[in-house]
Amino acid sequence: AQSVSQHNHHVILSEAASLELGCNYSYGGTVNLFWYVQYPGQHLQLLLKYFSGDPLVKGIKGFEAEFIKSKFSFNLRKPSVQWSDTAEYFCAVNAVDSSYKLIFGSGTRLLVRP
Amino acid sequence: ETGVTQTPRHLVMGMTNKKSLKCEQHLGHNAMYWYKQSAKKPLELMFVYNFKEQTENNSVPSRFSPECPNSSHLFLHLHTLQPEDSALYLCASSQEMGGGSYNEQFFGPGTRLTVL
């Protein structure tokens, strides 16, 4: 069965610090990969996605993620975080050749201190 | 705004009540989903509808009953819930099901449900 692991449940950073959130998945076939963000009191929204092509994907608000197939990873990065990046971040995986199901990780709560 | 709306945003109900959650999408999508988001747990897929037909029931207890009268509307009927059912219930839609690039899901704001 597919699964998604987000290793950091809580991350606290100061503004301007660099961010990297880990995401690993277990599935041997072709996958689509997503990062969603949930700001306090707001709905889940897509941050970025990978379907094919360049494994380095750029999303909104200066975020990027790199798909490393050999490591089954899709880590999220941002060079310099802002207070407004305080949110919960979810990695999600969809197996292209099996189902429409999005399998989510348990999320990482990011707190950025001003 | 994602084009997916949910009402009510908050709901408090007793264990003997019957209530319904509503989801509406304005994106012309054909697939709709119900998820449950509990604290410290991954989002759990509950139900999937594709072209108004239910294609997935992810071992959800019968006290949750979905209804999809058309591709734009999705309901979740609730009856005799338990306190452990308290959670955020999210609706999502996508253009189509399947593993291709058209299955990006757009989420509504959710209904925060509290069962007393």
pLDDT tens-digit series, residues B16-28:
889 999 999 999 9
Q: Give the whole-angstrom CA distance, residue B46 versus residue B111.
A: 14
Give the distance from residue A61's alpha carbon to the nearest chain B alpha carbon, in angstroms.
17
A66, β-bridge pairs:
A56, A75
Pairs of residues, one from chain A and one from chain B, whose beta carbons lie less than 8 Å apart: 57
Residues of B in contact with A4 (CB under 8 A): 42
In chain B, count H helices and then E strands: 0, 11
Closest CA to A70 of A20, A25, A4: A25
For the record, the structure tokens of B25 come out as 């999408």
pLDDT, position A99: 63
CA distance A10 to B60: 29
Among residues 19-38 of chain B, which lie with CB inside 8 Å of chain A?
Answer: 31
Q: Could you read off the pLDDT of A87-113 as tens digits, one per residue?
A: 999 999 988 765 667 889 999 999 999
Q: Do B5 and B107 touch, CB atoms closer than 8 A?
A: no
Contacts of A7 (CB under 8 A, 6+ apart): A22, A24
pLDDT of B2:
73
């979810």: which residue's tokens?
A90
Distance CA B69, CA B66 (A): 10
Check CB contact under 8 Å for B43 and A43: no
pLDDT digits (tens, 9 = 90+) for A2-53: 789 998 899 999 999 999 999 999 988 888 899 999 999 888 999 999 988 9
Over 60: is that where the pLDDT of B99 sits? no
The answer to whether residue B40 scores a pLDDT higher than 80 is no
Determine whether the interchain pair B31/A100 forms a contact, defined as Cβ–Cβ distance below 8 Å.
yes
Provide the 10 A C-beta neighbour count for residue B92: 26
The sign of the dihedral angle between the CA atoms of B4, B8, B13, B18 is: negative
